Structure formats: structure tokens, C-alpha cells
Structure 1
């Protein structure tokens, strides 16, 4: 049988495992060598690979060959259970990096079946082979669901076919999501998506919450279009939150620096205007006027102040060049003489 594949876009391809799994194929069966051959080609040419399953199972060894080939893919492999994933097909379904299941689909797990014709030794060898295969399959199921191998064997290899609905498979940890649940609105904000994921992780501790959202709908939102899995979505949300926190910190730091610069500018203007009053370039009553001029245009305001000539007081002229340690300065002496003459006339 020819394996059906579909190229979805330049980064993603889809492969259908629709039919009974066998070694040789034919009569509607899927040949393991054809599947592996297609996987080798697709894995080398596409970043994402979607494998869709609708199979009752088939031969164990060809199924294990397909299982291992999928596991070795470098592409981001997502497996979708569209109808039934039974027996060895159910085991193949567990090897995807992400596994999603339709709410109308079924997964079936049971004992390995086999038989032979021969003597007692032949029958004993067949039983040993079946038990060995069941050990292997139990290990695969246990690795996916987090259960002990012996617990898996006692649960699923009891001679009964175990049919699991999507919500049951999800609860057991065998799948990551139910892909046809009610989607979230495309216009959902980052906060909306973050809240949905967080609530799911806190309340259900399951890889996906079928009652609230599914990853494919998140990917419809442009900023999440390239997210390969849920972890990538959470990483992007976390990065967004970190950027927001960093932006808040930078804004706060920027505000503090602005305050410092403003304070330094006010101190510089105060010092400049005070010096202008002290050396007589401006009067004390002009101080506020020149402060406003400097605030509006410090460069031109400074030029205007520098163009003003300092006023020399008689006191400054008399004291210039005189020793600073004499008992009475020339100014004080002049003032004393004026007072004495005035007193004499009186």
C-alpha cells in the first residue's frame, strides 16, 4: 500500500497511518518499510511532522520498527489519533513528542497475541516471546504514563481489551490533548492565555485541559504561530512577562535618573543666579526672572549673564590690595571718619 502524505507548508508535512500494520503491506495494509522510508525523507526536509493514526493494530515487530523510526526523527513530531489506535497502533501513538486525540476516537490496549504449531518446547518458546514483548510494551506505556511496568501489565495485560476514550487517555497521561474541544477566541490576550495555562497546571496537572483550550488554537494567534508545543507557548509567555518586568524596572530607573538630573539642573541654576546677584550683574529682584530664563534655555541664558558686567562697589575698590589682617579696613576707616564729621557738625 502506498503511504499517504501531505505537504502542509514549507515547514510541515503530514503522514497517514491508516490501515493494518504489517511487514509486507498489500490488501489495504501498511508496510513498515514504506513508513520508515517516508519518515527518512520527511524528517530530512521538514521541521514539523504530523502523523495521523487510524489503525486497529497489526503485527508487533513491524509496529515496533515504526515506533523506533518515529522516535529517532529530529522533526517536531505530533501524533493525532483520528479514529482508532488499537493494539500495536496504540503503542506507536505513544512515541510522539506530542500526542493529541479526537474526543470521538478510541485507544485500545491489550495482551500481545500469538501462536505456533509444534511440540511442547515450541509452545514454551512462544509463551516466553509473548511475555518478553509484553515487558517491552509495558515499559513503553509506563514511560509515557509515569507508571511502573508491573502496574501496567496488571492493568492492561489481563486478557481483556481495554478501550479508552479521549478523556480517559488524557487522565492517564497517555495523550497530551484532545484536539477537537471548543477553541479559545483568536483575539485572546496574552494575559488570557497565560491564565488558562496557569489554571490548568495548578488545578489539573495534566499536559492539556480539554475543557478550556488546545494548542492548535493558540497557534492561530500570530505571535504564537511558530510554537512547536505547549512548553514553547509557556516559554514565550514567560519571556513576555520578563520583558514587561524589565520594562517596568527600566521605567522606574529612568524616572529616578530624571529626578536626579532635574535636581542637579535646579542646583546649577540656583548657583549661577546667586553668583550673578553676588557680583552685581543682576539685582536680587531679578533672580527669579533669570532662573526662568535659564530653565527655558540654559545656553543662551548663560550667554546673557556672561555679557553683563559685574558692578564694583566703593567698598570693593577700597579693600582691593589691602592686607586682610589689619584692625580697620579702608572702608571701615572712611565710614568712621564720615560719622565723626557728622557728629562734630551736630
Structure 2
């Protein structure tokens, strides 16, 4: 039986909240008069839900083109871990000035994404939630074991992210928050524990509101104004350089679909780029080692036949390293210097060597 494993991190408090939410077909992004772009992470995280990693990556690139200040507003029950990690990395490695606001709920994987804010603020009525990674799989016992190992590995990775923010150890985070329970935090509690940097005011919510009610309330606050501004937003989109040749709304939507498709290719292209860099590095290391060995061989030969010695060797070593061609020419032009002992013991054409001849003459003189 084939093995399948679906890793996610849904919150129990808002499993069905916000399903009737209707977002604009275009990017969940606005730009204010002061040049600040805002990206809305409102909804569940996943490839087939409201907050898609490829789409957010494209939104981020679009926002970076028009602004160096980007606000990210979160109201999410969480979702797929891998999609959330992709969004976390895209935001964390952005060169823009990113400030994250938790408007309503940042639960499960959404709480991880919130941590990459520089800084991160939270509405005083909002909630933050942490809990263990959940997953499902089927297969034989080896398949189930692999699923458990994958969940444990993901919890280890998420623990490192939390630990870096909180100043705790990885094991402390796992013992405190990955214990099988849902840990709901108010804004004050999140601030005291170090999850966020500040608390901001917002339109009040009923004091006895549940996390699911808070989630729905903030979604409704976002959706209603967007419905009234839908036509205006589409006209603003047409003014962007990428959409200047769109003659109709249908052309705009077709180009949006193309951009979403391109964004989906980003993770694949990133992996290919990483693999190619690794291959180039391996090739460069091998070439450098071969070049070093060849230079050593040239220097050893030159020192052996007397063209250079231990004092002059570093000079030619640097020359070969900086200018291989001219370095070899310089070594080749140096005169070969035979050692005295080699000349004394040489017997050219089978004749008596100078050393042997001198020794014989001394012996003959003594005899006389």
C-alpha cells in the first residue's frame, strides 16, 4: 500500500470560521498614499486555500517594486506547515522594511509566520496560538513510523524558530508548547513572553468573544470595504506598468493567472539554482586543487635543478598563482645550475670523471 502523509497545523478553535469569506481575485494587497504596501494574510494557509505560498511570494515581489515599506496583516487559523515555512522564508529574506500586524488570530502555522516581523505588533483584542504539529497517513508500520519521524522533524524546525525569538532553548520550546495542548495567548501574554514587540489599539470586539468569533469578525472588517472598492482597485491595477497593455478586465485577469503560475515555479527554480551553485563549487574546488598541484610540480622541478632555491621559491610561487602563463615563462628562462658534486661524479662518454681523476692523481703523487 502506498504511503501518504499530510502535515498541517489546524487550530481547534476556528476550524470552520471564515469559510464564507470572499476575497478579491487579484492580490490581497493595497498601497497607501504614503507609499506603504499592505499584504493581507487572511484565511487558511495552503496551496488550495486563501493564503497560498506561491501567491504570497508574487504579491511580495509586486509590493517590493512600488515600496520599500511593507505591512503584513494576519488573521489566520494556520494550515499546511510547508506552505507556511515557504511564506516565512519569503518574508524573512525580503530586503523591504517589513512590519507584521496580528489583527485577529495568528494560530498554529500563522503564529510562526508572525515571528519574522521586523517588528511584529498585535491588536490588544487578538489571539496567538501554539500547538503540536498534526498529520495523517496510511500504510504499513514503516510508513507510519516515517510519518511520525517527519512530524518530529518539523516540530524540531519550528521549535528553533520559536526559540530564536523567545531566547529559549529548542527543547524548552518543545516541552512548553508542543505537548499536545492548544496554547492560546492574549496580546499582553504574548508581549510578556517575547512573541511580539508591541500592542496596538483596534476597533473593539465583545469581551467574551471566542477565537473563532474574533477570526470571523476581523475577516468581515476586511471583506466589506474591499467589496465597495473592488472596481476602484481593478482600475488601480490597470495603471501598473505590468498591466498597461490590458484592454479589458478579462486581459487583466489572464495576466494575473500567468503571474500566479510563474510564482508557483519559484520554489522549483530556487532549488535548481541551489543545485547548480553546488555543482559549480565542486568543479571550482577540483580545478583549484589540480592547479595547486601543477604549480607545486613546476616549483619542485625548478628547485631540484637549481633554477630557484628556498629563498626565491615564494617569489615564483606568487607569480604562478597570479599569472600562470608568465610565471611558467619566467621559470623556463632561468639558467639550470648543476650542483658541484653532480659535476664531479659525472662520467660523460664513459670517460673518467674529474673527481676520480683528481683522486687518482693524489694517490700517484703520494706513491712517488
TM-score (norm 1): 0.50
* Structure 2 match to 1:11: 35
Structure 1 stretches of 4+ moved >2 Å:
none
Where do 1:187-202 residues align within 5 Å? Answer: none
CA contact (8 A) 1:10 1:46 kept: no
Where do 1:19-30 residues align within 5 Å? Answer: 19-24=43-48, 29-30=50-51
Match for residue 61 of structure 1 among 75, 79, 82? 82
* Structure 2 match to 1:41: 62
CA drift at 1:2: 4.2
CA contact (8 A) 1:90 1:108 kept: yes
Q: Deviations over 1:274-315 (max 9, x none)?
A: xxxxxxxxxxxxxxxxxxxxxxxxxxxxxxxxxxxxxxxxxx
Secondary structure in 1 aligned to 2:79? coil
Whether 2:158 is the aligned partner of 1:137: answer yes
In structure 2, distance between residues paired with 1:21 and 1:96: 17
In structure 1, distance between residues paired with 2:151 and 2:26: 30
Match for residue 117 of structure 2 among 88, 96, 104? 96
CA drift at 1:115: 1.2
Where do 1:1-346 residues align within 5 Å? Answer: 2-24=26-48, 29-180=50-201
* Structure 2 match to 1:341: none
Q: Deviations over 1:126-165 (max 9, x none)?
A: 0110000001100001111111110000000000000000
Unaligned runs of 5+ in 1: 182-346
Larger RCO: 1 or 2 (CA < 8 Å, sep 6+): 2
In structure 1, distance between residues paired with 2:61 and 2:189: 33
CA contact (8 A) 1:2 1:34 kept: no
Q: Deviations over 1:103-122 (max 9, x none)?
A: 10000000000010000000
CA contact (8 A) 1:3 1:17 kept: no
In structure 2, distance between residues paired with 1:6 and 1:138: 33
CA drift at 1:171: 0.5
CA drift at 1:10: 4.7
Q: Deviations over 1:3-26 (max 9, x none)?
A: 3111013531101000001013xx
In structure 1, distance between residues paired with 2:61 and 2:27: 13
Higher Cα Rg: structure 1 or 2?
1
Count of residues in correspondence between the two structures: 179
TM-score (norm 2): 0.47
CA contact (8 A) 1:3 1:30 kept: no
CA contact (8 A) 1:58 1:88 kept: yes
* Structure 2 match to 1:196: none
